[in-house]
Chains A and B, each alone.
Chain A
Amino acid sequence: MAELWNTIILEPVLNSLIAMCTVLGGNFGLAIIVLTVIVRLILFPLTVRQTQSTKAMQSLQPRIQELQKKYAKSKEKLQQETMKLYKEAGINPLGCLWPMLIQLPIWIALYQSIMQALAATPENLLNLSQHLYSWAAVGQAVPLNEHFLWLRLSRPDPNLILAILVGGTMWVQQKMVTPPSADPRQKSMTSMTTMMMPLMFGFFTLSFPSGLALYWTVSNILGIIIQYFVSGGWGYLRTPSVPKQAPSQKTSLAQKPIPAEQQSKVLKRAAEQSKTIKQASSEEKKRRGLFGR
């Protein structure tokens, strides 16, 4: 299994990364940035589908919250009604997961490639020999020049700059896609997740090779850019953490039953977003032909 993974996924990415280093004048930092951009571009259609699918699901949140309130005592009924709602809106709840699952092996391969290519110890360098192609561009680049800007890519960044960049960009990206919640319990959990991940990765940056942190930073920045253009703005980044409530209202949006007219609007909007995804998908299929490329 490991052999299959190495042959099909890891080695192509690893050798491309090293060959790119030669093309870019032996600058491995630049090679990490360029390959991350290329991979992001290749996966762009999947990212767009994922973002749109997530957005479509988020637009149904008021209705789902209402159902949660309504069927608080019957979990089974809640599941049934939730699924019915998704069905009416034409949304597959797993729709935003598949693009993520397809992307995951490529990200893991890129991650492993950076780690292996850096070959921080003599053992790492010796092990690298078993994963390289006999391309001239690969042989010329190894062992890689680990200096990039102020960094030594196989060592952690002794300053806090990279840790702040990794944590900051990750926080922005998460904040853009995490909707604020009115439920206090859910709200505290959401805000903890939004803070915990960036803090954790910021901490990892202090101990991991800076080449990896560079990849995280670039990947996050690209994620923010894609999110900005696909969702048409900064998303929930500018929204206050607690949704504003009208002072005169005694019940929150989640508590108050949504009028039938508003309900149909929400469903219509979600259905439109879902339709857009399907259209984009069928156009893609038409373009590729019956058997794909």
Chain B
Amino acid sequence: MVNDVTGFFTIKIRKVLSLILSVIMLGLIAIGCGGPAHQGWSGFAGDDGILYFGSMDSRVLAIDPSARSQGLPFPSEGEWVLPIPTAGSPGAICGPACVPASPRAGIYATPVVIGDLVCVGTYAGDSGKLMAINRLAPGYAEGVPLRSKGEWAYPSGVQSIGAIVGSPVVVEDTLYVGTSEGEVYALGVVYGESNKWKQPFDTEGKIWTSPAIKDNVVYISNYAHKFFALSRIDGSLIWEIELPAAAASSPAVAGDDVFFGAFDNQLYAVDVTNGDVKWTFGGDNWFWSTPVVKDGVVYAGCLDNKIYALSASTGEELWQFTADGPIASTPVLVDNILVVASESGMVYMLKADSGKPEHDPVPVDASVKVPVKAPLYAEGNMVYVHASNRCVYCIDVQSGEKVWSFCYSEIE
């Protein structure tokens, strides 16, 4: 009798197990594929008291901090919201989790303000473009710029130059940007034409970082382990170096050195004149955020939860501070206070000379409690944080407390 019962259950269990295995497999395939879809992590560009940034839901926003602090209805004067059109991605077929044919555009690059225009780089899987929007009153309609307002898109129509992740940089009347196709472009900001160089510079490797420019030299890295110094004037190669690992962060130039983090967990200091590596400093994970350099000190946020202060000339560690999560967001200096945000949503205000917290005890309301990946932006004593819950937070560095927050996901 016992055997019969066991037999009955054995067969039942077999059927149930087969069913469970099939469900697990199909479930994995249906939902476990692509991980989270791209959202973006644009920082802010400020001008005339207005902040411009790319949202995490395919829009460009202009917000007025004073209107937000008063809690006025959006949009108030000078504020607007502009949706970014979906970009076509030839060849890809829409699927349940991964790469749809027309992916929603995301914005990783921090916009730049040039006169009356605000320039935004878009990311849509394989494709992307640069859009110059009239920042006083956008004329864009369904992705088509209004020429009479000075707006342009590069390239025009459905063409693409590859996804843009690194932020563009403007010097005089030229905009410099690297694309995931591996090319560095120099565009005239007035008409958005690629006429500043004879042709874009091909680095032969994906670019997901921003360029840094100093003394007519453009410094940029690609994911093929290369770091380049190019002439800003004609795009010719001045020098290039091959690194043991690809650069993870965008470079920062100060004095005679350019500083950047790489995927081998090292922070590099490279001589701007010839590309010689002056020193390296090792962390326990990638130096992902762009280093900040001031008064001979390099402040570098690392994904090992630490922020390091290093001597720019020797690479010697001056101090380190351990946060409660990885630091992916680029920190900002407000006078002698270094403001750092971690991926766990804590915002730290540290004394730049010692790494000790500025406020003791740390104000309860200082944290935003949601992951922060976008670079921080400071104006006066206020620091602006673009958090992953699609909200913007304004934090007063003096008091260390949140002043206001604005969640744009609620805006139609």
Contacts and interface: CB of A to CB of B under 8 A. Distances in A.
Q: Is the interface of A mostly helix, strand, loop or mixed?
A: helix
Given A123-B36, A134-B284, A156-B95, 7 more contacts: A83-B7, A93-B14, A104-B21, A112-B32, A126-B303, A130-B303, A209-B98
* Residue among A100, A140, A145 with the highest chain B CB neighbour number at 10 A: A140
A139 B28 contact: no
A120 B285 CA distance: 20
Contact of B98 (A84, A127, A207): A207
Contact of A101 (B11, B17, B35, B99): B17
Interface string B91-111: 111111111000000001000
Interface in A129-185: 129-130, 134, 136, 139-140, 142-143, 145, 155-156, 158
Interface string B1-44: 00110111011011001100100100011001111111101000
Contacts of A121: 35-38
A80 interface: yes
Contacts of A142: 245-246, 263
- 10 A-B pairs closest in CB distance: A207-B95, A83-B7, A158-B91, A139-B264, A121-B38, A79-B8, A80-B4, A142-B263, A206-B93, A129-B303
B263 A156 contact: no
11 contacts: A79-B11, A83-B4, A86-B7, A87-B3, A104-B21, A130-B326, A143-B223, A156-B93, A207-B96, A208-B97, A209-B33
A204 interface: yes
A76 B8 contact: yes
A130 B262 CA distance: 15
A140 B328 contact: no
A115 B24 CA distance: 17
B14 A94 contact: yes
Interface in A44-76: 76
Interface residues of B, number: 59
Contacts of A206: 93, 95
A235 B41 CA distance: 55
Q: Is the interface of B mostly helix, strand, loop or mixed?
A: loop
Given A76-B8, A126-B328, A134 B265 contact: yes
Nearest to B223: A143
A87 B8 CA distance: 13
B288 interface: yes
B219 interface: no
A122 interface: yes
Contacts of A124: 34-36
Contacts of A82: 7, 11
Interface in A83-127: 83-84, 86-87, 93-94, 97, 100-101, 104, 108, 111-112, 115-116, 120-127
Contacts of A209: 33-34, 98-99
A80 B37 CA distance: 52
Given A136-B264, A142-B263, A207-B98, A94 B10 contact: yes
B263 A143 contact: yes
